Amino acid sequence: MKISNTRLNSLQAYRGIAAVMVVLFHMTVFAHEHFNVDLLGKSFSFGYVGVDFFFVLSGFIIYFVNRKVMGVSQAVQPYLLKRFLRVYPIYWLITTAKIVVLFTLPSFAKPYETNVGQILRSYVLFPQPTDLPIIGAAWTLSYEVMFYLIFGLAIVLGLWWFRRIFAIWGISILAFQIIRLVAGTGFQSNYLLDFILNERNFEFMLGCLSAYLILNHQIPYRAWILAMGVIVFTLSAVYVDNNGVVPSYTLFFGIASFLIVTASAGIESQRPFKLPRSLIFLGDASYSVYLTHALFINIFALILTRLDLVTRFGPTLPLILMAVFAIIGGCLVYGLVEKPLLSIMNKWVKTRKVVVEQVASA
């Protein structure tokens, strides 16, 4: 398919929506744990699946942007540098800020959060065997980094090997999950093997498949596919709301996300969407929102306690304001910290002539 529009605003908007879903999920958990309140009837208890949407989007974007350098071994250095600069610097700043707070106010720290080994693993995003990273939401970034590294290997080896690497990885994940399902509760495994063969890694592959289909085929019935994706996503969310987390739930949300992303990209690649600038901005700010929302929730919780707002107004309104505060706080971090930092780093990269596009056209 010939792509007439290379910036797919719909997908950027989806990033923002996925980040908001995660914020609302954590707000739902916070409300239940601290106030014994089902926020908005626990309507967003499925919000953690925003992570599944993120993974499909990541797979799509990485393949879509880098498909021209498959097999160009010189392109792997700028690719990895770009991924490193996109993920780590702002993450390190936020992690360091939290560590300073934890050591200054140790009563707020969980026991593992001041452990040197845990701190070092958090900084490099090495997968954790039990506890969460210092920035709790960063557990997903370990999966992202692994995917980036495997895709980097595929860039060096070329499209032929890319297909086979991902086929072997996918088959291994499927076999591992079947063995786990058959073995039941008696199944034991190494946590690194669990990490590498986690079913969520399928979602990166679904994203890559989506980008491949958009770039190489005319997608028919795009509106119907989009509607089907929304329906599957909604029905899965309702089911999870009523029954809690179920085995292989990622399969349903991953497929639904694949359908939505493929259909939306197929439509917009031929006819650009006109979306509110605020929604696009939220997508741009989604990484900062994702990394900082727990911090802002805790700050607002202190304000709630000090001003006794829950007693005055009931829990629902203050908790909704808390979610809004967390989203706005993340957007401010993006505008004041992440965006300027990215601008500085991009200028630094360009001065050294290691931009992916330059390598691809050489």
Average pLDDT, the chain: 86
Distance CA 128, CA 139 (A): 8
Position 40 in a domain? yes
C-alpha 29/C-alpha 42 separation (Å) is 9
Helices (H) and strands (E) in the chain, counts: 16, 0
1 domain residue, yes or no: no
Measured distance CA(32)–CA(35) in Å, rounded? 6
334 near 285, Cβ under 8 Å? yes
3-state SS, residue 346? helix
Question: Which range of residues forms the domain containing residue 149?
Answer: 9-361
Rounded to 5 degrees, what are φ and ψ at 317? Answer: -60, -50
The pLDDT, as a whole number, for residue 57 is 96
pLDDT band at residue 285 under the 50/70/90 scheme: very high
Whole-prediction pTM value?
Answer: 0.89
Are 26 and 293 a contacting pair, CB within 8 Å? yes
Mean pLDDT of 228-249: 77
pLDDT band at 40 (very low <50, low <70, confident <90, very high): low
Q: Give the model confidence (pLDDT) of 334-359 as tens digits.
A: 999 999 999 988 887 777 654 444 44
- Please state, in angstroms and rounded to a whole number, the distance separating the CA atoms of residues 259 and 278: 25
Which residues lie below 8 Å from residue 256, measured CB to CB, with a gap of 6+? 229, 230, 232, 233, 236
| 157 occurs within a structural domain | yes
The confidence band for 246, taking pLDDT boundaries of 50, 70 and 90, is low
Q: Is the pLDDT of residue 61 over 90?
A: yes
Task: Indicate the pLDDT class of residue 42, thresholds 50, 70 and 90.
Answer: low
Of 223, 219, 213, 175, residue with least CA distance to 59: 213
For the segment 267-292, the average pLDDT, to the nearest whole number, is 90
Of 138, 48, 50, 141, which is closest to residue 98 (Cα–Cα)? Answer: 138
Angle between helices 201-216 and 159-183 (to 10 degrees): 140
Kindly tell me if the per-residue pLDDT of 3 is higher than 70. no
Rounded CA-CA distance 212/227 in Å is 21
What integer pLDDT is reported at residue 360 of this predicted model? 43
Q: Does residue 158 have a pLDDT over 70?
A: yes
Average pLDDT over residues 12-31: 89
Residue 228 reports pLDDT greater than 70: yes
| Mean pLDDT of all residues in 166-189 | 84
- What's the mean pLDDT in 329-336? 96
* Mean pLDDT of the 56-84 span: 92
| Average pLDDT of the segment spanning 170-194 | 83
User: What is the Cα–Cα distance from 158 to 278, expressed in whole angstroms?
Assistant: 39
* Rounded-to-integer distance, Cα 229 and Cα 232, Å: 5
Among the listed residues 115, 150, 147, 149, the one whose alpha carbon sits nearest the alpha carbon of residue 134: 115
Confidence of residue 362 (pLDDT cuts 50, 70, 90): very low
Mean pLDDT to the nearest integer, 123-128: 92
What are the DSSP calls for 30-49, one per residue?
HHHHHH---GGGGTTTTGGG
Share of the chain above pLDDT 90, in %: 48
Mean predicted confidence (pLDDT) in 303-331: 86
Q: What is the mean pLDDT of residues 3-13?
A: 76
Q: Is the pLDDT of residue 108 over 90?
A: no
User: What's residue 354's pLDDT?
Assistant: 47
Extract the tokens encoding 66: 């880098």
- The pair phi, psi for residue 20, each rounded to 5°, is -65, -40
In a domain, 3, yes or no: no
Is residue 266 in some structural domain? yes
The answer to whether the CB of 336 falls within 8 A of the CB of 296 is no
User: Looking at the chain, how many residues does it have?
Assistant: 362
Instruction: Say how far apart CA 225 and CA 227 lie, in whole Å.
Output: 5
pLDDT, residue 359, reads 43
Q: What is the pLDDT of residue 244?
A: 60
Q: Degrees (nearest 5) of the Cα angle 221, 224, 227?
A: 150
Task: Using alpha carbons, select from 220, 175, 230 the residue that is nearest to residue 202.
Answer: 175
Q: How many structural domains are present in the chain?
A: 1
Query: Does 2 fall in a domain?
Result: no
